[in-house]
Structure 1
């Protein structure tokens, strides 16, 4: 069909709404006309009519209509760009039509075509529709992985500026342009943003863009405020002892349709676009508004997840608690969506936190603690996602979390208020499946509390940190991934309180109970490493220069005696690995060489484990050795001897070797300060320390002898003469 007739037919079809098949045919014909029409005026008319056509805009396709417009002009621009690079534009002795359709002697030049399309974005249509067209053209000309730039520098800058101008004008008229305008602007900028220069990007109105981009993430075109979680709960049913969520349910179909939405497909770039708007917004109140919107969104997600039956399932128990369909089909799609929620939210949060460090209006004492408080609440609300399979183990999350903790710790009042509002209930140490979410939130609480006691009043530290942590120290539930984390987090929280100098009265009262709990917990509920760290921290706290060493000078030796007496009767069997000890699964390797390398690594790891094999007894002796650098000076020599003798009481040579290696490491590595090292040198050389540590085996060769750091071999040789 000649282009003129096709043009008239398409313009006639624009006037009414059609079914899907006919609409697709109209879209295809429009794309074809945009690449075949040789009259720039006709291209302008076609564009102008398309942007007001009922056949396109009166359908209930939502944001897919806007995506369709971008697609039309993206495809057309690619074709025009490719036509412009064909060798047929070279002079030919026998003139040939440059287009396969008869009757068209030439193609429009690239710049001529671009300007013709731009002229079609006239006053008959809204600015946000113009943005869709210009974005499609820019993508077709400059994107799609083309290795070389297509447009001249002048036209490229003009087109980029046109996109930014259309965006800014569209942002100004959003309130009166209808519900489709805002998400369409965000959609267009999401595609155009990577193709804009830094200068053009900085011209975008960040104040207007930020609330729209956050709404696009959290609203109907994004995560829908987490409403899909409520629908899922209606379709999850108990089948015997298991939970069943079938793929045929309406909630799963809605989840799939949610994932198919245009903005969901580009959620990563969209969150970066929102982060850019945070950085370039001129008004800090707009940034605070976006932060509050994320807080409301995370709260909505948490509230709906709390009522969901799936929230009570421990990930380690999913194979038993979920039916095969729920385990393999439906819940993986759900967690994929939830991961997107976490990543998108944290990406925007990171920009807010980073700006709060640089913007004097956001880092003021009136604003900073509230901003840190809100950020930590957002992370807490989404911690059920972040704590699963190490989803929070990425740099953006760590920066956001740790920076907010640093800011919060500077404000004792804000820290106390934050912990008071979130303090776990007295029954939080229960271990039933339906308490899994609550215990997950308690884990976040304890992890945060560990960082805040330095400037908090002693009474608040006791009530808000020590008491909640104590509830988990006295639990008797079976070890699991979560209970192990809770137990170790409780120890860390209490130790952080004990380590604060202003908490000396509390420390004096708490240390006996804590040490008793520590001994009662090992090795059933706490690992050798955690036990050693905890005891070493206590020893540091009760030793000089901490004030408690003055009021209770014998406490440090009493604690050592407790460890020594227990080591005398401790179990000598190798300790078994604990649940949750290694959360990194790694990625499955493929290929014979990779499998062989993986097998070699496993063998090396097994060999290393054998070398570092520990029993309860050897772990306690290692604890004694770790405490040596913190002993008061009068006790150092005696406890060097006592520790060496206790070490020699380990009958198993395999168990004793890593303990001996650690003893030698403490003596020569510099862990002992100058005064204690001097005592150690004398003890090693003249008071029998060397024979105690190395045993009375035949003398080794000179080059294999173990000597204290700084010992002079010549003097030792002379003394032997």
Structure 2
């Protein structure tokens, strides 16, 4: 059949309302004609009919049909471009001088003819699909094509089609919104800054938000989690299964494969760019509230799902193999994509709150910060599943929101009240509630300075107290560390002097109760060093309780004298090496340390934090404690660490002078370096003279 007869036949079919199964055949014929017709008027006619054909657009179609239509022009553009490149390679002569074999339209004329077909008889959203397909197809074969004159024509026509579609589309038409978002998401990277500036961002942002979060082509308002709960089946006395044949799993799989969610990363960056450039600040507030509502709904849906009751460490016990290897990983892949996308959107909103005058106003800034933190809290169960591994976008969004909110003490107190543990004073049994506790502790730590002592006690200390002695459970280790950090932040706040004196004995008792069996030596040393900082000058606690630091050091010293000398299990040996002499040493040169050795190292760690008088008092006592260690390797390790603290740069000038005076003229060198082997090389302070009048500079 000739091309003209085939064109006439196709046009007749396009004017009828054919069955949906005929669509692929019609589009295949259209692709063949688009790349073979040599009359630009016929190409314009065919394009115009395709964009308005009842056979293609009379019935509501899924967004996948729009993607197929976009792919039609994508494939046609690639084929025409490849044909022109091949013609140039085979026939380097000018077009008029080539032998006449078969005439084809030059690429520029073909593109112009297609654009002319996007006329007033069809929807602007369909125009965007057509021109977007051309742009993506040509850019994939010719990276610099979008910078040419023809590329400029395409970009201008595409932006015009998108803006016109945003203006004319009904607010409730989800399919039309998807047909706008789909080509824009694919073609956005090919637009120049000037083209992007011409987009109507104020109309675009609501369309992007509703299409991505709520439409049937997007994330469906997070209700897919509720459907999954109804189809969990008990297959044994302990195990549950979520079948891959269940409708809920098929729904989640279809969401992941949908045209928009399969490219959720670029789509979230498009939304973030739109948030950056909207003119109406109210739209940013609306977007943040929309994200907060979606996140809350997602968290509620997860809380009501039986899967949320199973900790990650217990999945092998309570979940069937199919659920562990097939269905649940698919769900977590979707949830991870949602987390990353929402964080990227919120990052732009928070940045606008920092740099935009209207959004930084007192009535807007704390509202944005609270909504952002609520969103991150409701998504914290996904973040925990990732292993609490932070990334730069999340860190900026989280910490900036805290910084904004911390400027408003009243709103900060209200926010902390709203996210405080539901069962203060005890560890909840539900994993999701423990995730919320972890988020609360990590967040509340930053507000200790602006809360009153009563709030610090009722909110922060009450929430952290049950976790202070739970380090033996590896699943609770992140919450355990957060609880200690919160407690120390409360003690560090200057307004909490009386509160510190009241609760510090209980905290010290908790430290000694969990070490060394449930607390690693590294954690114990770090916690105690921070505690000494809290009770040492220039803190107000040191003024109110001047003997507190000395009392704590005496407790550790007395325990070191009586502590066991057997090596601790390997998991409790310090993982970091501080002495420069040990940086290049093999691991075998670091001995297994006993509880006694760790306590001596703890005393040494505290030197840079002590007051001048207390430092002068503790230097000889700690040196004597180091000499009490019976194991030679452990003792030498402690001596090296003692030396590193003295010369490693942690001391300020006043404390350094005390150390030099003690070392050179008050018997410090002899007290520390008394060894079984008299011929052992000496440690000498900078400026000291050795036995052979040889200067050994160590600083």
Alignment TM-score > 0.5, same fold: yes
Q: Does 1:675 align with 2:654?
A: yes
Shift of residue 154 of structure 1? 2.1
Report what 1:77 is aligned to: 77
Moved more, 260-269 or 614-623: 614-623
Which whole-Å CA distance do the structure 1 matches of 2:449 and 2:26 have between them? Answer: 69
Report what 2:474 is aligned to: 480
Instruction: For residues 132-184 of structure 1, give each alpha carbon's deviation from its aligned partner in whole angstroms, at most 9, with x where no partner exists.
Output: 1111111222x22x245347722211210111111111111222683311111
Describe how 1:228-307 pairs up with structure 2 within 5 A: 228-238=224-234, 239-307=236-304
Report the CA distance shift for 1:718/1:251 in structure 2 as closer, same or farther (over 3 A): closer
Moved more, 201-210 or 184-193: 201-210
Shift of residue 126 of structure 1? 1.3
Which whole-Å CA distance do the structure 1 matches of 2:12 and 2:65 have between them? Answer: 19
Partners of 1:81 and 1:150 within 8 A in 2: no
Q: Does 1:206 align with 2:188?
A: no
Shift of residue 714 of structure 1? 7.8
| Count of residues in correspondence between the two structures | 681
- Of 685, 693, 698 in structure 2, the residue corresponding to residue 717 of structure 1 is 693
Q: Does 1:118 align with 2:118?
A: no
Report what 2:385 is aligned to: 388
- Of 658, 661, 667 in structure 1, the residue corresponding to residue 640 of structure 2 is 661
Report what 2:530 is aligned to: 537
> Which secondary structure state, in structure 2, belongs to the residue aligned with residue 334 of structure 1?
helix
Which whole-Å CA distance do the structure 1 matches of 2:571 and 2:306 have between them? Answer: 28
Partners of 2:673 and 2:682 within 8 A in 1: no
> Which secondary structure state, in structure 2, belongs to the residue aligned with residue 670 of structure 1?
coil
Report the CA distance shift for 1:314/1:387 in structure 2 as closer, same or farther (over 3 A): same
Report what 2:437 is aligned to: 442
Which whole-Å CA distance do the structure 1 matches of 2:98 and 2:604 have between them? Answer: 95
Instruction: For residues 185-212 of structure 1, give each alpha carbon's deviation from its aligned partner in whole angstroms, at most 9, with x where no partner exists.
Output: 1111001101111111121111111121
Which whole-Å CA distance do the structure 2 matches of 1:12 and 1:534 have between them? Answer: 81
Q: Does 1:366 align with 2:363?
A: yes
Q: Does 1:705 align with 2:698?
A: no
Which whole-Å CA distance do the structure 1 matches of 2:609 and 2:381 have between them? Answer: 40
Describe how 1:586-597 pairs up with structure 2 within 5 A: none
Report the CA distance shift for 1:397/1:177 in structure 2 as closer, same or farther (over 3 A): closer
TM-score (normalizing by structure 1) = 0.90
Which whole-Å CA distance do the structure 2 matches of 1:531 and 1:474 have between them? Answer: 12
> Which secondary structure state, in structure 1, belongs to the residue aligned with residue 385 of structure 2?
coil
> Which secondary structure state, in structure 1, belongs to the residue aligned with residue 240 of structure 2?
strand
Report the CA distance shift for 1:402/1:716 in structure 2 as closer, same or farther (over 3 A): farther
Report what 1:587 is aligned to: none
Shift of residue 71 of structure 1? 0.5
Which whole-Å CA distance do the structure 2 matches of 1:22 and 1:136 have between them? Answer: 22
Shift of residue 61 of structure 1? 3.4
Report the CA distance shift for 1:543/1:81 in structure 2 as closer, same or farther (over 3 A): same
Partners of 1:428 and 1:442 within 8 A in 2: no
Which whole-Å CA distance do the structure 2 matches of 1:303 and 1:47 have between them? Answer: 48
Partners of 1:319 and 1:327 within 8 A in 2: yes
Which whole-Å CA distance do the structure 1 matches of 2:585 and 2:379 have between them? Answer: 37
Which whole-Å CA distance do the structure 2 matches of 1:284 and 1:176 have between them? Answer: 20
Which whole-Å CA distance do the structure 2 matches of 1:183 and 1:164 have between them? Answer: 16
Partners of 1:16 and 1:54 within 8 A in 2: yes
- Of 350, 356, 360 in structure 1, the residue corresponding to residue 353 of structure 2 is 356
Structure 1 unmatched ranges of 5 or more: 99-105, 583-603
Shift of residue 225 of structure 1? 1.6
Shift of residue 323 of structure 1? 1.4
Which whole-Å CA distance do the structure 2 matches of 1:323 and 1:606 have between them? Answer: 47
Report the CA distance shift for 1:21/1:532 in structure 2 as closer, same or farther (over 3 A): same
Structure 2 unmatched ranges of 5 or more: 576-582
Instruction: For residues 356-414 of structure 1, give each alpha carbon's deviation from its aligned partner in whole angstroms, at most 9, with x where no partner exists.
Output: 21111112222111111111111111111011133652211111111112222222112
Report what 1:458 is aligned to: 453
The ranges of structure 1 where at least 4 consecutive aligned residues each deviate by more than 6 angstroms after the TM superposition are none
Partners of 1:542 and 1:556 within 8 A in 2: yes
Report the CA distance shift for 1:451/1:195 in structure 2 as closer, same or farther (over 3 A): same
Report the CA distance shift for 1:397/1:55 in structure 2 as closer, same or farther (over 3 A): same
Report the CA distance shift for 1:95/1:176 in structure 2 as closer, same or farther (over 3 A): same
Report the CA distance shift for 1:221/1:530 in structure 2 as closer, same or farther (over 3 A): same
Instruction: For residues 418-475 of structure 1, give each alpha carbon's deviation from its aligned partner in whole angstroms, at most 9, with x where no partner exists.
Output: 111111033563364xx11110110011000111111222211111111111122255
TM-score (normalizing by structure 2) = 0.92
Report the CA distance shift for 1:499/1:217 in structure 2 as closer, same or farther (over 3 A): same
Report the CA distance shift for 1:365/1:578 in structure 2 as closer, same or farther (over 3 A): farther
> Which secondary structure state, in structure 2, belongs to the residue aligned with residue 185 of structure 1?
helix
Q: Does 1:548 align with 2:541?
A: yes
Shift of residue 716 of structure 1? 8.8
Which whole-Å CA distance do the structure 2 matches of 1:443 and 1:129 have between them? Answer: 48
Shift of residue 606 of structure 1? 12
> Which secondary structure state, in structure 1, belongs to the residue aligned with residue 174 of structure 2?
coil
Report what 2:580 is aligned to: none
Report what 2:31 is aligned to: 31
> Which secondary structure state, in structure 2, belongs to the residue aligned with residue 450 of structure 1?
helix
> Which secondary structure state, in structure 2, belongs to the residue aligned with residue 350 of structure 1?
helix
Which whole-Å CA distance do the structure 2 matches of 1:72 and 1:305 have between them? Answer: 40
- Of 105, 119, 129 in structure 2, the residue corresponding to residue 108 of structure 1 is 105
Partners of 1:428 and 1:438 within 8 A in 2: no
> Which secondary structure state, in structure 2, belongs to the residue aligned with residue 543 of structure 1?
coil
Describe how 1:519-534 pairs up with structure 2 within 5 A: 519-534=512-527
> Which secondary structure state, in structure 1, belongs to the residue aligned with residue 6 of structure 2?
helix
Partners of 1:380 and 1:444 within 8 A in 2: yes
Which whole-Å CA distance do the structure 2 matches of 1:397 and 1:621 have between them? Answer: 39
